[in-house]
Structure 1
Amino acid sequence: MWNEISYSGWGRALSAKGRVARPERLSALAQLSQETPAPAFGQLRSYGDAALNDGGPAVDMTRLDRMINFDPDTGIVHVEAGMPIGDMGRLFAARGWIPPVMPGTGFATVGGCIANDVHGKNHHVVGSFGQHVTEITLMMNGKAKKFTPDKTATLFKATVGGLGQTGVIVSAKIRLMPCKGDMMVLTERRIDGWDQFIDALDHSHADYTVGWIDATAKGNSLGRGILEEGEITSGVSPKTKKARAVPINAPHWALSGPVVRAFNEAYFRRVPAKGRTTVKPIAEPFFPLDAIHNWNRLYGKRGFHQFQCVVPLAHAPALRLMLERIANSGLASPLAVLKRMGAGRAGYLSFPMEGYTLAVDFPARQGSAQLIGELQDMTSDAQGRVYFAKDALASGGAVRAMYPEHGEWLKAVSKADPDQAMVTDLVRRLDLRSTQ
């Protein structure tokens, strides 16, 4: 049942090697949990080491991906933790229902969405994923136990956003949201600079809002980009685009400064100056990069790091300073995102806060680690926090201070997993289970 394998996070800059089991039934998972307690992972879409356990055992949950039950009267669906969220969206959207929160990739599993309390392009409207979970089943020492946000609030809040430290997430009940169909009306418009972008986000009334930022732009163009605003609708679905793939690791020069600047200029100009509105299948605006299989190979064999932070509304100028530092570094990739977030969060270690979140990818090359360290310090000074699902380089003490409910989480986790069998590489690196 156990196989020795090597695996990595989506950024590919960090990897692990160890024994991995891949159970297909709940009974097999129960036996594993009793004999060899181990942390679990899904599709390995966390960018850093959140799902890695180098040198130790781990459980691959991707075969436990079934729908258990759906109640059309309440919209509550019960699914196993290994189900990809994109599959759930495609399954229900045509029937008038949709997961309220969709992260940036449809390959993220339900278990991963819970463990990281993910957010989507509509966080300012509906909050985080965990706020729509009505029940979680955990495997703890070979026994399946159920938890709800009202009757067992402490352990529920320690599990949602809790990085899998309370036990293996087996299944969950999620309250789906009624929707008009499986299409989206998408409006795109150019934004010429930082101040205009913040103003556009503040005044957007769309359900789904996200901004692409040109992280190489400087001077008067600093913070320029494209604002996307979407609303779900019904209609005749156009022909589905065939997925493409990146077959090999890209060469080092593919993301050199001149290439990235040229790409960003072309990408910015692809939207007409007057803007445009189109109708697309919902998967395209929800998961734009899923249409390119293995897109992480574009960063070469050394991989990449993503830095994502959120800062309070009043500290938006800190993000402008970060963008200036990033643009001057020459290290940014074409992938940079800006969103406005609401206050919604469901767990002690949930990432969201009301404010603005910036995410930027950097190839894992000389200078990237130092730059990300500087950005982390700037986030701390701005009373913000970094996102565990994207992190690979942060240091422990500074990050723990960003999460004021860490102490409550630690108490609950220490009780649920006293032997620290669920500890992963990220938890060790950030020393999150330490009482000091």
Structure 2
Amino acid sequence: MTQSTVEVLEELGPEFYRDPYPFYARLRERGPVVRVGLGPTPVWLVVGYTAARAALSDPRLVKDQGRMLRAAAATAGVEHLPVPEEKTFGEQVLTSHLLTMDPPDHTRLRTLVGKAFTMRRIQALRPRIEQVIGELLDAVAGRTELDLLEALAYPLPVAVLGELLGVPAAAQPRFKELCNALNFVGPEEMRQVGEDLAELVLTWVELRRTEPADDLLTELVRAHDLEDRLTLAELASMVFQVMSAGFGPTSHLIGNGVSALVRHPEQLEMVRADRSLVPAAVDEVARYDTTVHIAMPSVAAEPFELGGAPIAENDFVVVSPGAANRDPAYRADPDVFDIRGNTAGHLGFGHGIHHCLGTSLGKIQAEAAFTALLDRYERIELAVPAEELQHKVFPARLLEALPLRVG
């Protein structure tokens, strides 16, 4: 491939979904930043570690939606794209969140929602996390085969997010449905999810106005009602952000993690023998089989050079944390799963102002899940050949199921 080649990522076949890393390695041969087709617009895809880290913290790469529309119009060769109709409240919920914002709005909202993710609050959730894991594993006690995603990795973060947000008990079944929908529905269905979530959040807001509690919903209602620091749409969007960031990434950190450990039994036994290695195993999973392979796009506010590539004003730039974490320039043995290897500075949870807010909460859940599985089962292995595991890649690397044999 030459630098002028535009590789259309959507046209890659099943082999890419099974194992995308050889493809990323071939892209890196062209350079750390390469031109590819992603949707209707050519973008600069950042596959090198140093360039990815730089891009994720470069203020010249912005999320401004108006600039993105103008840039897309310029790429399409038209003066402007059709003006979208005024967004419904549900559409605002899906689009007015941290990943689509730049400072100062990003700073304002991240400061507000960051109150939910203080170490004090997260550590206080640990006993509840361990209790939920115990209950979920008790529910499948006696079974010698199970799908870990259905049994543990999906329901655990839903329960934890419900505690964090303060979801009323009566709304928890619907909350679970919406969390699952965020991970599995397409763009068209997602619009309805936004409308449903908006309606649900409005009922929660009214409840927390009359019955405040020590939870994120109460904090957000106070910021809206008393401090006038966010709009109602921003409030609902913060709930959406917490749900989307806290469910899928955590579920698949657990799923990808257990998958990696059982496919490397010597590493599994190393952790079993020394439980102090569990946190290192979680970070190695986040590096080795990163959940987010294609980050949210940015657009260049001015021309500059990134990894030797000439980024023009209004060019789209997309970072691939999954590719960057396997760059030999970052780690000499990037394709080796080694829980004792260097993971300092890995991009599995992002970097810069858009670093994942829920990193600590997700890691605590994964650590607790790994520990509980090792405590409960002397034998944990795949119930199918490794090559039969099915993945989805774009924008995240997700296992469709993780059948295990346990005992």
> How would you bin the TM-score normalised by the shorter chain?
under 0.3
> Higher strand share goes to which structure?
1
Larger relative contact order (CA 8 Å, sep ≥ 6): 2
